[in-house]
Amino acid sequence: MIWVITVLAIIAFLFFKDKGEENKRIAKQGGVKQKYGILINYILSSHPQMEVQKLNTDSITMAVIEPGVRTEFSIRHGFESVSVFWRHYSAGFGNHRLNWTFPEFQSQEEMINEIEGDIAAYEHKLLF
């Protein structure tokens, strides 16, 4: 039992150490807001009421909140990748979600094109 606890403690220590180093690296690049500025600005401009809800060194959450509807995008930087999460909560249409993971240095324009296409296809599938 002691071995299991020791191994788990070592794994947890190494993970948090690596995560801390990764956060320092992202901070040196201006944080997630600077590093993924093209993608973030695209999302913010997608709706006049889209606002930043939460911002950290390695993640940002943006949302449009209206009566009965909430659309949310989260961008999280991971180890050599970036994940984008789309969540839509609607009183009339229910809850929906899509996720993407891209290589850290992939073109943000390519990310936008894939996200746009996937959301459009998903919405089309829901309506027809």
What's the confidence (pLDDT) of residue 7? 59
- CA dist 118 and 101 (Å) reads 13
3-state secondary structure of 101: strand
What pLDDT, in 10s, does the model give residues 93-126?
Answer: 899 999 999 999 999 999 999 999 999 999 999 8
What pLDDT, in 10s, does the model give residues 34-70?
Answer: 999 999 999 999 999 999 999 998 999 999 999 999 9
What's the confidence (pLDDT) of residue 78? 85
Length of the chain (residues)? 128
Secondary structure element (H or E) that encloses residue 49, with its range: none
38 phi/psi in degrees, rounded to 5 = -65, -45
80 phi/psi in degrees, rounded to 5 = 65, 25
- Residue 61, burial from CB neighbour count under 10 angstroms (0-12, 13-18, 19+): middle
